[in-house]
């Protein structure tokens, strides 16, 4: 799952289109800058009009009020760096998926009790693939998405998926300076297409 933040909505639309052209139909817009919700509003409307099959969610959500705001603006799912029970309850009321950041078995268990189908392992680089492997031993039903420390390199992706990751989140390793500064959308499309192909092969 590609994820990014940029205040320029027009650039954001180009990024969404480039990922969509590669077959990337799920994206996370990260809530980082001032007035990020206004940028997201433009992107959400663009997706509904031009890329209707794309699923667009929002990350870095730390409270229920912010989650409600972005859901009102069309967020298809909500992601946070930590487990927030108020966010889980708010998302459940709207039947919107919530992916909380978890770092212990207790947090993962509580997240699942709150209705979370997928939990986010963040930062993934701190815990590594062995953490997922260890968790899925006694809990094979648990779906984990590592974010942070995930790269597009074959060895890196192989480690995560072999350990049992259901999916991975890719930020600056996929959408980095070449995209923001050089506007290399063709390069982004190629990188997303290659990453998706690798992930599909590893999961099968």
Q: Which helix (H) or strand (E) is 33 found in, with range?
A: none
Residue 40 in domain: yes
Residue 113 in domain: yes
Secondary structure class of 118 (helix, strand, coil): strand
CB atoms within 10 A of CB 86: 12
Q: How far is CA 58 from the centre of its chain?
A: 8
Examine the pLDDT at 203 and tell me if it is beyond 90. no
Say if residues 164 and 133 touch (Cβ distance below 8 Å): yes
Bridge partner list, 120: 101, 145
- For 88-111, what is each residue's pLDDT tens digit? 999 999 999 999 999 999 999 999
Residue 58 in domain: yes
Residue 46 in domain: yes
Q: Which two tokens stand for residue 69?
A: 């705001």
- For 43-55, what is each residue's pLDDT tens digit? 999 999 999 999 9
**pTM of the complete model:** 0.96
User: Which domain range does residue 146 map to?
Assistant: 3-199
Residue 64 in domain: yes
Residue that has been written with the tokens 């999961």 in this structure: 203
What's the mean pLDDT when you consider all of the chain?
Answer: 96
- For 48-77, what is each residue's pLDDT tens digit? 999 999 999 999 999 999 999 999 999 999
Q: What is the pLDDT of residue 204?
A: 80
- For 170-195, what is each residue's pLDDT tens digit? 999 999 888 999 999 999 999 999 99
When divided into structural domains, the chain yields a total of 1
Residue 129 in domain: yes
Residue 204 in domain: no
Residue 90 in domain: yes
- For 148-167, what is each residue's pLDDT tens digit? 989 999 999 999 999 999 99
DSSP conformation class of 82: S
CB atoms within 10 A of CB 10: 12
Per-residue pLDDT averaged across 1-18, rounded?
97
Bridge partner list, 4: 29
CATH of the domain at 141: 3.20.20.70
- For 18-35, what is each residue's pLDDT tens digit? 999 999 999 999 999 999
Strands annotated E in the chain: 3-4, 26-30, 55-59, 78-79, 98-99, 101-102, 118-121, 143-146
Residues 6+ apart with CB under 8 A from 13: 42, 43, 46
* Distance separating alpha carbons of residues 104 and 94, to the nearest angstrom: 27
* Distance separating alpha carbons of residues 4 and 30, to the nearest angstrom: 6
């Amino acid at each position: 799952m590609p994820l990014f933040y940029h205040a320029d909505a027009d650039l954001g639309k180009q990024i969404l289109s480039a990922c969509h052209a590669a077959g990337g139909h799920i994206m996370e817009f990260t809530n980082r800058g001032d007035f990020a919700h206004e940028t997201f509003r433009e992107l959400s409307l663009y997706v509904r009009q031009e890329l209707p099959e794309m699923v667009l969610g929002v990350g870095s959500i730390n409270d229920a009020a912010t989650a409600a705001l972005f859901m009102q603006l069309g967020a298809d799912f909500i992601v946070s760096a930590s487990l927030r029970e108020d966010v889980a309850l708010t998302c459940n009321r709207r039947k919107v998926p919530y992916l909380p950041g978890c770092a212990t078995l207790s947090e993962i268990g509580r997240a699942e009790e709150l209705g979370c189908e997928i939990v986010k392992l963040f930062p993934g680089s701190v815990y590594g693939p062995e953490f997922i492997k260890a968790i899925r031993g006694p809990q094979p039903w648990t779906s984990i998405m590592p974010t942070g420390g995930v790269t597009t390199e074959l060895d890196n992706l192989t480690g995560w998926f072999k350990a049992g990751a259901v999916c991975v989140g890719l930020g600056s390793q996929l959408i980095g300076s070449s995209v923001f500064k050089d506007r290399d959308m063709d390069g982004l499309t190629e990188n997303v297409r290659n990453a998706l192909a690798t992930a599909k092969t590893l999961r099968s």
